Chain A
Amino acid sequence: MNLLHISWKNLKDKPLTSFLSILLMSLGIAIISLLLLVGKQLEEKFTRNIQGIDMVLGAKGSPLQLILAAVYQIDSPTGNIKMEEAMRFTRNPMVQSAIPLSMGDSYQGYRIIGTTPKYIEHFQGEFEQGKTFENALEIVVGAKVARNLGLKVGDSFASQHGYDGEGDHHEESKFKVVGVLKQSNSVLDQVLITPLESVWAVHEHHEAEEAGKGANALKLLTEDEHSEQGEEHHEDEKEITAMLVKFRNPAMGMMISRSINENSTMQTATPAIEMNRLFALMGVGIDTLKLIALVIIIVSGISVFVSLYNSLKERKYEMALMLSMGASRTKLFLLLLSEGLIISVIGYVLGILLSRLGLGVMAQNVEQNFHYDFGVLSLLTEELWLLAGALIIGLLAAAIPSLGIYKIDISRTLADD
Chain B
Amino acid sequence: MIATQQLTFAYPTQSNVPTKQFTFPDFSCADGETMLILGKSGRGKTTFLHLMALLLKPTGGSIQIHNQEISHFDSAQAAAFRAANVGIIYQKPHFVHSLSVLDNLLLANYLANKSLAKEKAQHLAESLGFADHLAKKTTQLSQGEQQRVSIARALMNNASVILADEPTSNLDDDNCLRVIDLLKTQTSEIGASLVVVTHDQRLKDVFEKHLYL
State the A residues within 8 Å of B (CB): 1-2, 6, 9-10, 12-13, 315, 317-318, 321-328, 331, 410-411, 414-415, 417
Contact = CB atoms under 8 A, between A and B. Distances in A.
Given A411-B55, A411-B56, A324 B88 contact: yes
Contact of A326 (B46, B56, B82, B98): B82
B108 interface: yes
Given A317-B94, A326-B84, A326-B111, A9 B55 contact: no
B98 A9 contact: yes
B96 A414 contact: no
Contacts of B76: 328
Contacts of B88: 324
Contacts of B83: 325-326
B177 interface: no
Given A9-B103, A10-B98, A12-B98, A417 B80 contact: no
A3 to B, nearest CB: 9
For the side of the interface on B, what is the size category? 20 to 34
A331 B82 CA distance: 16
23 contacts: A1-B103, A1-B107, A1-B109, A1-B110, A6-B98, A9-B98, A13-B98, A318-B94, A318-B96, A321-B96, A322-B96, A323-B79, A325-B107, A325-B108, A326-B79, A326-B111, A327-B111, A411-B50, A411-B55, A411-B56, A415-B46, A415-B47, A415-B50
B112 to A, nearest CB: 5
B97 A324 contact: no
A321 B82 CA distance: 12
B41 to A, nearest CB: 12
B94 A321 contact: yes
A323 B80 CA distance: 10
Q: Is the interface of A mostly helix, strand, loop or mixed?
A: helix
Contacts of B97: 13, 315, 318
| From B47, B92, B96, residue with most partner A Cβ within 10 Å | B96
Given A318-B96, A324-B82, A325-B83, 13 more contacts: A1-B103, A1-B110, A6-B107, A321-B95, A322-B107, A322-B111, A326-B111, A327-B79, A331-B111, A410-B55, A415-B46, A415-B50, A417-B92
Contacts of B35: none
B90 interface: yes
Contacts of B80: 326
A326 B78 CA distance: 8
Contacts of B106: 1
B116 interface: yes
Given A1-B116, A13-B98, A325 B111 contact: yes
B99 interface: yes
Contacts of B95: 318, 321
B194 interface: no
Given A411-B55, A414-B90, A325 B112 contact: yes
A417 B94 contact: yes
Contacts of B90: 321, 414
Nearest to B90: A414
A10 B137 CA distance: 12
A415 B49 CA distance: 10
B53 A324 contact: yes
A324 B55 contact: yes
A417 B92 CA distance: 8
B30 to A, nearest CB: 24
A6 B96 CA distance: 9
Interface in B39-85: 46-47, 50, 53, 55-56, 76, 79-80, 82-84
Contacts of A10: 98
B186 to A, nearest CB: 18
A324 B55 CA distance: 7
Contacts of A324: 53, 55, 82, 88
Interface in B104-147: 106-113, 116
A327 B56 CA distance: 16
Contacts of B113: 326
Contacts of A323: 79
Nearest to A321: B94
Contacts of B82: 324-326
A358 to B, nearest CB: 34
Nearest to B79: A326
Given A410-B55, A417-B94, A326 B112 contact: yes
A414 B90 CA distance: 8
A331 to B, nearest CB: 8
